Each structure stands twice: as C-alpha cells, then as structure tokens.
Amino acid sequence: MFRNILVPVDFTLKNESALNTALDLVRGKEAKITLLHVIELIEHVEFDEMADFYRSLETRAAAKLYGLEERFKQALIPVYHEIVCGKRAETIVKYAEEREVDLIVLSSHQVDRDHPALSVGAISYRIAIVARCPVLLVK
C-alpha cells in the first residue's frame, strides 16, 4: 500500500518510535524509506553569512543519518537520506509533495490533556493538517 515513506528526523530519542514503526510497515514489502533532516534557517540572517555554520550542521547530520540507515539496510529495505534547509513543517510538506510520498511517519509529543490547545503549534500537528498524503503520528 505505502511504497514511498518519508520519516523526518531531528535526532532526538522520540524519533526511535517513528523509525521502528516505519521499519515495521515496510518489512517484507516493496517500499523505500527516506530519512529527512531539516536544518532550520536562522530568520533575518542571510544564508551566505551563516554558510560555514550550516555546512558544519549538514556534515554532522549526514553522519547521524548514515547511522540511522543501518537498521533498514540490515533488514534489506531500501533507505535514503536527505538534508535540506528551511522551516521544518513547511519544508517537510513541500518535500513530500515534490517526491510523491505515500506516507509521512513522524514522532509526536504527548499532548497535555488538561491544555490540549498548547499542542496546536507543534510541528507534527502542522504537518498532519497540511500534508496531502496520509500522516502517521507516533507517540
């Protein structure tokens, strides 16, 4: 059913559940996984002024992504990674649309049931609302 799955990662522990869920979804099926890391740009600062800083972030992110790919490679699942710069939610949604992603699997934080409105600004919520493809939020 889902053949092109996108898993946005920010290298926090909460990503583990999304990565494991994506692995379970594609195991034994003809599907590919793309791990996406978005480097958030600093507002009101020209990219060129921070180019060296962004390059160092990209280098560190690439090393971490190669490490995350290993679990998929061991399961013989095609896995790729990309690093892009931009605003996280908007960039993830645009990336998914441009590459015809079938499903976005991403981690979500626990919602405070006493104050659920505080979660409306969460990146995972914004992606789930705006994305044109299905989104699986994993807690």
Alpha-carbon span 54 to 42, nearest angstrom: 10
Mean pLDDT estimate for the chain: 91
* pLDDT per residue as tens digits for the range 78-93: 999 999 999 999 999 9
Given a cut of 70, whether residue 118 has pLDDT beyond it is: no
What was the pLDDT predicted at 91?
97
d(CA 33, CA 68): 11
DSSP state for residue 23 in the 8-state scheme: H
Q: Would you state the pLDDT for residue 50?
A: 93
Q: How confident is the model at residue 115 (pLDDT cuts 50, 70, 90)?
A: low
Q: How far, in Å, CA of 125 to CA of 136, rounded?
A: 11
Average pLDDT in the 112-130 region? 72
Span 46-78, pLDDT tens digits: 989 999 999 999 999 999 999 999 999 999 999
Interacting residues of 13 by C-beta distance below 8 A, sequence separation 6+: none
Burial class from Cβ neighbours inside 10 Å (0-12, 13-18, 19+) for residue 126 reads middle
Place of tokens 């994993």: 138
Report the topology of domain 4-138: Rossmann fold (3.40.50)
Compute the residue count for the chain.
Answer: 139
Report, as an integer, the average pLDDT of 2-17. 95
Helix (H) or strand (E) holding 19: helix 15-26
CA 61, CA 39: separation in Å to the nearest integer?
Answer: 9
- Does residue 30 register a pLDDT over 90? yes
